[in-house]
Structure 1
Amino acid sequence: MTIILDQTSKSFGSVEVLRALSLEVKPGEFLVLLGASGSGKTTALRMIAGLESVTSGRILIGSRDVTHVLPKNRDVAMVFQSYALYPHKTVFENIAYPLTVRKRPKAEIEKSVRDVAQQVQLDHLLERYPRQLSGGQRQRVALARAIVRRPSAFLMDEPLSNLDAKLRGHMRAELKHMQHELGITTIYVTHDQIEAMTLAHRVAILERGVLQQLDTPANIYNRPANLFVAGFIGSPPMNVLEGSLADGRFDCSAGSFGTASRASGRAVVAGLRPEDGRLAPPGQGQLAGEIYASELIGDHTLVTCRCGGATVTVKADKDFAGSIGQPIGIGFEERAVHLFDKASGERLQ
């Protein structure tokens, strides 16, 4: 089922939290709304669900304009961060609730609940109560309750944020597989870029209510639309160096190098992903600096260097043994450099 937001805005009094957001979620697509707190992503989700009114613009589910339609008539299922389970009902009763309120036949409810419970590996826990379950099991009950009535779309508001890191990784894989099997359009809200990059077919990045970029995870990572996206996506984030561009050559306090751009006479910011840099002996490479910190992560070492007035982090081999204060060079393939206009922050083509 297609979901369309057409120039959709939301204001609370004089505060505009979502500004003319337009996007189309394709049938069966897993779209992630990604942003920091206050970016407007949860407000957008709640507007699609009908839990928040629309200040201006339209929302369409399929070919139907649902801008002013009650939540119960939108045929979407929402999964909340807090699980929102009924503590006095068993797992079976919690999952069955959407069918029970619709007065479906008892035999149909029984079969549907048991089928979905098996799908999310809860079939042996149907007689338990939420208080007897782990966080991951409770989240699976919430998912099963959303799945059981086969809605047109799933709306998920940070459903994994209450889980520990190991369980979160497991549940990401479960969610991705489940959504693929069901083929139901899903809009997922998170502030976690790892969730966004691993789950989504496409990611919509929001900042202060404005859409910054809408694209596949690979394109967002490899061709960020602006400096905000470049700094928001990636762990550790992209290194940035301020300098000037003349005849396609970038100059800054830490060094100089050629670029693919032939532009001249403008202040720019050069971006370099940590994995695209390599450490070199002093005097070699395009940048000169000294080691500021070294952190063994496991399969690699993060080496942060002071280069002029900036810091540059490089992913080095796990056996790297440099010491703090040691002079160092940093080299890279010049085609790996991203260029942004300093004034606007927009990517230079």
Structure 2
Amino acid sequence: MTVKLDKVAKNFGAVKVLHELDLDVKEGEFLVLLGASGSGKSTALRMIAGLETTSSGTITIGSRDVTNVLPKNRDVAMVFQSYALYPHKTVAENIGYPLKVRGTPREDIATQVKDVAGQVELLPYLDRFPRQLSGGQRQRVALARAMVRRPKVFLMDEPLSNLDAKLRGHMRAELKHMQQELGITTIYVTHDQIEAMTLAHRVALLEGGRLQQLDTPANIYNDPANLFVARFIGSPPMNVIHGSLDRSTFKTAGVEVATPVSGNLSKVVLGVRPEDCAIVSPDAADLKASIYTIELIGDHTLVTVNLGSDMLTIKASKDFAGKSNDVVGVALSRDRLFVFDDATGSRVR
């Protein structure tokens, strides 16, 4: 089922938390709304669910305008961060509760609960209570309760944020597999860029209530629309060096670097990702800098260097042998350089 937001805005009094958001979610798509706290992503999700009213704009599910339709009549299922399970009900009763409310016959409820529980590997736990389950198991109960309704759209509000790092990785794989198997349109809210990049068919990155970029994870990473997107996506984030642009040459602190763009701006930011930098001999380098810190990650080493008022992080070999204050050369991949207007953050193309 498709979901469309057409110039949807939300105000809380004089505060505008969402600015005319346009989204067109395709049938069967896994779309992630990504952003920091206060970016408007959860507000957008709650408006799709009907838990918040819109200040302006329209929301369409399929061919039906649901802007003013009650949540119970939108045929969407929402999974919350807090699980929201009934502590006095068993796993089976929690999963089957939406069917009970609908008046589904008891025999049919039992059949459907077992079917869904099997999909999320909960069959051995149907007679247990939530307090007897791990965090990951409780999250699967919440997912199963949403799945049993067979909704037109899944809405998920940071469902993995209460789990530890190892379990989050496991649940990401389960969620992605489940969504692919069911083929149900899913809109997922998170502040975690790793969740967004690994789960989504497309990512909608929000900041300050405005859509910054809507694209595939690969395109957002490799072709950021502006400086905010470039710095938000990526771990470690994109390096930035402040300077000026003279035609196609970036200049800073006596250093000149050829770029793939052209313009004349007195204040720009040169962006380059850590994996697009390399430590080389100072004589063969684009830049010279002194080592600030060295961090062995496992399969690679992160080397942070000082370049005037800017810091650069470089992904080096796990066998890199250097020490603090060593002067090294840094080579930049010319075709992977980005230039941004320092005043507006917009990309120079």
Question: Quick one: distance in 2 between partners of 1:240 and 1:345?
Answer: 12
The residue number in structure 1 matching 2:22 is 22
* Structure 1 residue 223 corresponds to structure 2 residue 219: no
The residue number in structure 2 matching 1:270 is 270
Question: Quick one: distance in 2 between partners of 1:220 and 1:305?
Answer: 26
Question: Quick one: distance in 2 between partners of 1:288 and 1:348?
Answer: 25
Question: Quick one: distance in 2 between partners of 1:329 and 1:204?
Answer: 37
101-110 or 214-223, larger mean C-alpha shift:
101-110
Deviation at 1:242, TM superposition (A): 1.2
Deviation at 1:286, TM superposition (A): 0.6
247-256 or 129-138, larger mean C-alpha shift:
247-256
Question: Quick one: distance in 2 between partners of 1:36 and 1:326?
Answer: 36
The residue number in structure 1 matching 2:186 is 186
Deviation at 1:260, TM superposition (A): 1.3
Q: Structure 1 regions of 5+ residues with no counterpart?
A: none
Deviation at 1:140, TM superposition (A): 0.1
SS at match of 1:42: helix
297-306 or 279-288, larger mean C-alpha shift:
279-288
SS at match of 1:36: coil
Q: How many residues align?
A: 349
Deviation at 1:175, TM superposition (A): 0.1
State whether residues 96 and 148 of structure 1, in contact with CA within 8 Å, keep that contact through their aligned partners in structure 2: yes
Question: Quick one: distance in 2 between partners of 1:265 and 1:163?
Answer: 46
The residue number in structure 2 matching 1:203 is 203
The residue number in structure 1 matching 2:308 is 308
State whether residues 265 and 341 of structure 2, in contact with CA within 8 Å, keep that contact through their aligned partners in structure 1: no
SS at match of 1:205: strand
1:51-200 matched pairs, under 5 angstroms: 51-200=51-200
The residue number in structure 2 matching 1:44 is 44
Deviation at 1:265, TM superposition (A): 4.4
Question: Quick one: distance in 1 between partners of 2:70 and 2:126?
Answer: 31
Task: Report Cα offsets for 1:38-90 as digits up to 9, x if no partner.
Answer: 00100000000000111111111111111111000000000000000000100
Deviation at 1:109, TM superposition (A): 1.0
The residue number in structure 2 matching 1:234 is 234
Question: Quick one: distance in 2 between partners of 1:114 and 1:254?
Answer: 69
Question: Quick one: distance in 1 between partners of 2:213 and 2:15?
Answer: 23
Q: Which amino acid aligns with 1:263?
A: G
- CA 1:99–1:317 in 2, change beyond 3 Å: closer, same or farther? same
Question: Quick one: distance in 2 between partners of 1:309 and 1:27?
Answer: 48
| TM-align CA RMSD | 0.9
Task: Report Cα offsets for 1:200-222 as digits up to 9, x if no partner.
Answer: 00000000100000000000000
Over the matched positions of the two proteins, sequence identity in percent amounts to 67
- CA 1:217–1:7 in 2, change beyond 3 Å: closer, same or farther? same
State whether residues 32 and 188 of structure 1, in contact with CA within 8 Å, keep that contact through their aligned partners in structure 2: yes
Task: Report Cα offsets for 1:229-273 as digits up to 9, x if no partner.
Answer: 011000000000111111211111262111111323443211000
Question: Quick one: distance in 1 between partners of 2:231 and 2:146?
Answer: 35
Question: Quick one: distance in 2 between partners of 1:232 and 1:182?
Answer: 31
Question: Quick one: distance in 2 between partners of 1:259 and 1:183?
Answer: 43
- CA 1:334–1:30 in 2, change beyond 3 Å: closer, same or farther? same
Question: Quick one: distance in 2 between partners of 1:199 and 1:135?
Answer: 20
* Structure 1 residue 344 corresponds to structure 2 residue 325: no
207-216 or 241-250, larger mean C-alpha shift:
241-250
What's the TM-score once normalised by structure 2's chain length? 0.98
Question: Quick one: distance in 2 between partners of 1:283 and 1:10?
Answer: 56
Question: Quick one: distance in 1 between partners of 2:265 and 2:171?
Answer: 50
State whether residues 83 and 139 of structure 2, in contact with CA within 8 Å, keep that contact through their aligned partners in structure 1: yes
Task: Report Cα offsets for 1:111-170 as digits up to 9, x if no partner.
Answer: 110000000000010000000000000000000000001000000000000001100000
SS at match of 1:218: helix
State whether residues 255 and 288 of structure 1, in contact with CA within 8 Å, keep that contact through their aligned partners in structure 2: no
State whether residues 2 and 185 of structure 2, in contact with CA within 8 Å, keep that contact through their aligned partners in structure 1: yes
The residue number in structure 2 matching 1:333 is 333
Q: Structure 2 regions of 5+ residues with no counterpart?
A: none
SS at match of 2:45: helix
SS at match of 2:59: strand
